[in-house]
Structure 1
Amino acid sequence: MTPRGKFLRNTGFYIAAGITTLFVAVPILFALLGGFKDNQQLRENALGLPNPWNTQNYTDVLESDSFWQQVFNSIGIALVSTFIVVAAAAMVAFVFARYAFRGREFLFMLFATGMMFPFTVAVLPLFIILRTLGLLENPMGVILPQAAFGLPLTIIILRSFFRAIPGEIEEAATIDGAGPWRFFLTILLPMARPALATVSVLALVASWNNFLLPLVVLQDPNMWTLPIGVTQFSGQYSTDTARILAFVMLAMLPALIFYGFAERHLISGLTSGGTKG
C-alpha cells in the first residue's frame, strides 16, 4: 500500500488523535499564557498572546516560601508512597504469578475488586482509623492509604509481566543455587524494569494529584501538598485570575516534566505486559 493509501486509511485515527490533543493542549496552553498576562488582558484578549508579557505572576509564586514548602511536601509523600506501593505489589505479584496454591485466584480477584472500590466511600471510616492510630496531621496518614489504594492496579500490571517471564529462567537459577528470594531480587526485578517503571509513574502521578486524602488528614498549612495549596491560593486570590493561572501551571509542571521523561517507559511497560506470553 502506498504512503498516501495508508494515510487515507488512518484518516479517522488522525482526526480523533488531533481532537484529543486539542482537548488536552488548549487548557494547558491557556493556563501557561494566562499566567503571563494581567487581569485586564485576560478580560480583553483571553485567547491571544500576552501583550506585553508579564512575568510578575510567576516570579511572585516562585518567591513564595509556602509554594516551595508544598512542593517539597508533595515530592516527599509521592516518593515514599511510590516506593511502598511498588515494593509491596512486586512481592505480592511475584507470589501470584510464580506459585500455585489453593485460593490463589480468589485472593487475586479480591485484590482486583479493590479497583472498583471508590475512595470517597472510605473517607469516613478511614478518618476514624487514622485518628485512632494517631496518624492525623502526619504524612504517613496520607502515604499508607495511598499505597493501599494503589496496590490493586499495580499488582495486576506486575503479575501480568512476571507471568510472561519464561519458567526456564527460574529453573536455571534454582539449579545454580538461587532460592526464591534471590531469584526475585537479582533476576526477576532487573528483567521487570519496564513494568516497574510503568507502575512507578502511575503511582507517582496519582500521589501528586491526590487532593481529598491530604485535605482530610493534613490541617496544618506547613504540611499541605500542592493540590491543597492550589485550592487555598485560588480562594485567597479569587479576583486575581492571572496569578491563579500562574500558580496552577507551576503546580502542574513537575508532574508534566516527570511524565514526559517517563512516557517511553510507561508505554513500553504496558505493551510488554500485554503482549508477552
Structure 2
Amino acid sequence: MTTLTNIGAVRPAPARGGRDYVGIGLWIALAVTALLWFLPLYLMFMTSVKGLPDINSSPMWALPSSWEWGNYADAIDTGDLWVTAGNSLLIAAIKVPLGLGLAAAAAFALARIRFRGSRITMMVIAVGSMVPIQIGLGPLFSTMLELDLLDSRLGLVLPYLAFGIPYQIFVLYGFFRGVPDELEESARIDGASTFRIFWQIILPLAKPALAALFVLDFVATWNEYAMATTLLRSQDNWTIPLAVQSFSTQHGTDYGPMNAFIFMSAIPVLLVYLLFQRYFVQGALAGAVKG
C-alpha cells in the first residue's frame, strides 16, 4: 500500500498564533524570481508595440502612446518568419528526439552492461561534453565543406548531434546507475531481453530526466547561433537566430519589429515547456511516496 512519507517533517509547523517566517520567505523568493523572469518578456512586448519615436523618447517599461501592432506584420515579412521558424522546427524535430534516443541507449549500455573499457569510454564522453563549440568551428566548417554538406539543414543536424549527445549521456548515465539492480534481475528471471528491459523498464522510469533534457535540448537547438552562422549561407536555410540579423541595416536597427519577431519566436519554446511540465512535477514528487 502506498503511503506518504513524513511530508510534514520537511519543515516544522509554526506555533499556534505565530508567523510562518519560512513560508513567508519562500513566497517572497518565489515572487522575486517570477518578477525577474517576467520583466524581460514584458519589456520585449512593450518594445514590440512601440514606434521609433516612443522607443527613443519614453522609458522601456512605459505604455506606448500608440500601439503599433503593424510591427508584427513587418516582423513576419522582414524575418521571413514562416521559413526560418520552419527550418528551426524541422532541425529541432529531427535532432532532439534522435539525439535523446542515441544518448539514452549509450547511457544504458555504459551504466547497466558490464564490459571492459566502460569507465574509460565514460571519461572520454565526459570530456567531450565540456568541449566549447567555438574551438571546433574552423575544423567543422572544413569538414562540412569536404562532405558537401555546407549550407544545408542536414549539415547542421549532424554537428548538433555530435556536440549535444555527450552531455545527455553524462546526465542519463547517473540516472540509470541509480536504478536498483533488483528491477533488472527480476526482469531477466522472467525472460526479458536486454532491449526489453531498456524499453519497458528503464526508459519509463527515466521520463522526468528525459523530459528535462528534451526541453533543454529543444531550447538550445532553437536558439543556437554560432554553428548556424558558420555553416548556413543562403537565407532559405536560415534559422530563427540568423533571421534576427535581417532587422539590422547600415542605418540602424528596427527595434520594434525585431522585438516582435523575437517575442513570436519564443512561443514554440513556451509550448514545448507546457507540454512537458507535468513530467517535472512527477519527478519532484517521486521521492515523496514509497510503496
TM-score normalised by structure 2 residue count: 0.83
Alignment correspondent of 2:52: 39
1:109 counterpart = 2:123:
yes
Q: Percent identity?
A: 35
Cα deviation for residue 120 of structure 1 reads 0.2
Q: What amino acid sits opposite 1:129 in the alignment?
A: T
> For structure 1, which segment, 106-115 or 20-29, has the greater mean C-alpha deviation from structure 2 after superposition?
20-29
Q: Which residue of 1 aligns with 2:191?
A: 177
The answer to whether the aligner puts 1:191 opposite 2:205 as a matched pair is: yes
Aligned positions of 1:1-277 closer than 5 A: 1-2=13-14, 7-9=20-22, 17-45=30-58, 46-62=60-76, 66-235=80-249, 238-266=252-280, 268-269=282-283
Deviation at 1:267, TM superposition (A): 6.2
Aligned position for 2:9: none
Q: Does structure 1 conserve the Cα–Cα contact (< 8 Å) formed by 2:151 and 2:231?
A: yes
Deviations 1:136-184 (A, max 9, x none): 1121211111111111221122122222222222222222222112221
- CA distance in 2 between counterparts of 1:7 and 1:105 reads 48
Partner Cα distance (2:111, 2:35) in 1: 40
| RMSD of aligned Cα (Å) | 2.7
| Structure 2 counterpart of 1:24, one-letter code | W
Segment drifting more, 149-158 vs 160-169: 160-169
Spell out structure 1 runs of 4+ moving beyond 4 A. Answer: 3-7, 10-20, 266-273
Q: Deviations over 1:19-55 (max 9, x none)?
A: 4444432222111111111111222323212233221
207-216 vs 5-14, greater mean Cα deviation: 5-14
Alpha-carbon distance between aligned partners in 2 of 1:269 and 1:234, rounded to the nearest angstrom: 43
Q: Which runs of 5+ in 1 are unaligned?
A: none
Aligned positions, number: 274
Counterpart secondary structure, 2:64: coil
Q: 1:65 to 1:49 in 2, by over 3 A?
A: closer
SS of 2:92's partner is helix
Structure 2's unaligned 5+ residue stretches are 1-12
Answer yes or no: is the 8 Å Cα contact 1:233–1:244 preserved in 2: yes
In 2, the alpha carbon distance for the partners of 1:144 and 1:268 equals 32
Q: 1 or 2, which has the higher helix percentage?
A: 1
Select the structure of larger CA radius of gyration: 2
Mapped partners of 1:208, 1:23: distance in 2: 22
